Amino acid sequence: MKAESRDSVRKSQSMRSRSGVVAAALQTVAFFGLVLMAIHAFAATENDAFERCARLGRGINLGNAMEMPRGRPLWEPQPEHLDLIKAAGFNSIRIPIRWSEYAATDAPFAIDPAWFTGVDTLVNAALDRKLAVVINVHHFNELMADPVGQHQRFLAIWNGIAEHYREFGPDLFFELLNEPHGKLRPQLWNELLSESLAVVRRSNPNRAVIVGTAPWGGVRGLKDLVMPEGDRNLILTVHYYEPYHFTHQGASWANKGADAWLGTTWDGTRNEQRAIRADFDQVAAWAKEHRRPVYLGEFGAYNKADMESRARWTDFVAREAEKRGMSWAYWEACSGYGAYDPKAGAWREPLLRALMPSATGR
Ligand code: BGC
């Protein structure tokens, strides 16, 4: 071999080894870069869930409208309602929706496009007014009665909703299921929530998703709730209606004997306060242990209770939630728990003051 070509071989060998060193160095840099990005992404998503939850702030449920049986809403939310809600200082609304009534009963369980159009109108009107919006799956009674038989349908409904809203901004939140109960026992719910979350994540990798407890979204279900550990963009939701005999007095749908509870007051005695604080402490402890933000998605007292007690209770519950950094949504706007009186065209002042003390100058 000529000297010249030996040199060029050596040169190319040394270039190879040098480029090997450079490649290794680049690989190391890339590796640590990826680790840093992963750490950052993890931290960012975790903070995002807290930030997203804070965005919900003080909210109100548009209950007894879109979750009622087909054609039988108790009232129909209009843009004017959203103006009133915004002007009162609320940050968000929660729209309970009975999707199951508008989804085919045979595979692929398509959702009626006309129903989507109606939901879109309301969602867009709220987002235009800078109100954050929670949409859920509400009153899916068939699922509670037959979780195995309705399993694929539930996943398909979520696939349909998630695909439909995939381009919407982060102020739209998904809540997987209102108050799992009946045969949808906690263990089964944990499995289903994880599966439905995976379906949502295919099209909405970054959306904040809200998940509640079984049975009935209550505090007592927390001990059984398992949220997928790796998904840090989740918000815990609980509902609060204690003492039940007070908040559901005269509520025929809640209990046949609910009329016997009429006249129950909530006076805010030390014991009454202590009981509520203990429940909220339990929620806060779970949230701290699992590093999840909390959204109190429903609380309210029915209009058969006296207004003074209702306002006192509402104020106390809202403040206890806020003290623990929780966002909330009052149950509800214009119906039996209504903070707003649609006939009089006015807020029920004691309830509004209880919900929004700073906005009403208290
Ligand atoms: C139900 C409503 C009920 C409310 C209070 C909600 O989760 O969907 O129908 O009025 O709880 O009981």
DSSP character string of 236-250:
EEEEE--SHHHHTTT
Catalytic one among 67, 101, 272, 298?
Answer: 298
Q: How many domains does the chain have?
A: 1
179: Cβ below 6 Å to ligand 1? yes
pLDDT single digits (tens) 31-55: 555 554 554 444 446 679 999 999 9
pTM of the model: 0.88
Cβ atoms 190, 224 nearer than 8 A: yes
Q: Which of ligand 1's atoms lies nearest the C-alpha of 302? A: 5
Question: In terms of C-beta density within 10 A (0-12 exposed, 13-18 middle, 19 or more buried), how is residue 359 classed?
Answer: middle
CATH code of the domain in which 175 resides: 3.20.20.80
pLDDT single digits (tens) 98-146: 999 999 999 999 999 999 999 999 999 999 999 999 999 999 999 999 9
Q: Tokens standing for 77? A: 């939310």
Specify the higher pLDDT residue, 21 or 16: 21
For ligand 1, mutation pick of 74, 302, 331 (most atoms within 8 Å of CB): 331
What residues pair up with 327 in beta bridges, in sequence order? Answer: 295
Domain annotation covers residue 5: no
Domain annotation covers residue 97: yes
Q: Which residue is listed with tokens 């963009």?
A: 233
Domain annotation covers residue 33: no
Domain annotation covers residue 11: no
Specify the higher pLDDT residue, 206 or 14: 206
Domain annotation covers residue 92: yes
Active site residue 308: no
The contacts of residue 22 (CB under 8 Å, 6+ apart) are none
Q: Which residue is listed with tokens 């009133």?
A: 84
Domain annotation covers residue 47: no
Domain annotation covers residue 32: no
At residue 358, the pLDDT reads 76
What's the alpha-carbon Rg for the chain, to the nearest Å?
Answer: 26
Domain annotation covers residue 320: yes
Question: What is the span of the domain harbouring residue 185?
Answer: 52-360
